[in-house]
Amino acid sequence: MLKLYSFGPAANSLKPMLTLFEKFEFGREFTVHQLNPAKFEHHSDWFKAINPRGQVPALEDAGRIVTESTVICEYLEDAHPTAASLRPEDPFDRAQMRVWTKWVDEYFCWCVSTIGWHRYVGKMAQKLTDAEFEEKLKAIPVPEQQVKWRRAREGFPQDMLDEEMRKVAVSVRRLDDHLRDHEWLAGGAYSLADICNFAIANGLQFGFAELVNPSDAPGLIRWLEQIAARPAAQLMFASVPREIVHETRELNV
């Protein structure tokens, strides 16, 4: 049985969650182990034995671990092909799909993540005493993540926040421009391009409503609603307690 370590249905964890629910039966073919980011469970020794980077998601398949959210999705398609194929057959369309998954991993997810850390992770980190915070920091294996935690606690520089907000606006425009004329991102069918971008875009209609609303981004809104209405997405959201759906969407870490 496949096992996914995840924060819940948001951000990078959402990519393999949606993929698993599209392809397999929850409880029979896969399970999800929920980690609580507010309790820093992902930095605990037992989880770092699974992913030494102390990050979710991670997939366990017959005792082997696959990390990196987009790689996990591709791995599921390669290692466990099912009737629900989430990659276009045509090599050109598949390349377009990968342009979109590369873009979300290298550009779109970073700007959304920094604003999420500024808004929510900072508050979480500020609740700790200096000593508690330094102790938590020691358990974080990735140096860049330590820097991010410190920045979130002390406050990100305003010019960095302005730049990341600019990139969020560029990203929204790119997605909406495409989705006004196309039902899906690549190959004319629902694919990993949609799943991986939805994982980061879902929630922007609340947190960035000034950019993502029916009059300014009708294509993007239609696509977000269309994916959320899919039976697999509905099952996935229903599998997680409501408060976790909201908390993880806000944390977006």
Ligand X SMILES: N[C@@H](CCC(=O)N[C@@H](CS)C(=O)NCC(=O)O)C(=O)O
Binding site for ligand X (CB under 6 A): 7, 11-13, 42, 55-57, 68-69, 145, 253
Q: What's 35's DSSP letter?
A: P
- Select 54 or 187, whichever has its Cβ closest to ligand X: 54
CB of 40 to ligand X, least distance (A): 8
CB of 200 to ligand X, least distance (A): 9
- Select 44 or 188, whichever has its Cβ closest to ligand X: 44
Residue 158 CB-density burial (10 A; 0-12 exposed, 13-18 middle, 19+ buried): exposed
- Select 15 or 23, whichever has its Cβ closest to ligand X: 15
- Select 124 or 161, whichever has its Cβ closest to ligand X: 124
Helices and strands, counts by H and E, the chain: 14, 4
CB of 180 to ligand X, least distance (A): 28
CB of 7 to ligand X, least distance (A): 6
Q: What's 7's DSSP letter?
A: S
- Select 51 or 191, whichever has its Cβ closest to ligand X: 51
Alpha-carbon gap, residue 6 to 112, rounded angstroms:
19
User: Which residues are within 8 A (CB) of 10 and not within 5 positions of it... i.e. 6 or more apart?
Assistant: 199, 202, 203, 245, 248, 249, 251, 252
Instruction: Point out the residue whose Cβ comes nearest to ligand X.
Output: 55
Strand partners, 33: 5
CB of 145 to ligand X, least distance (A): 4
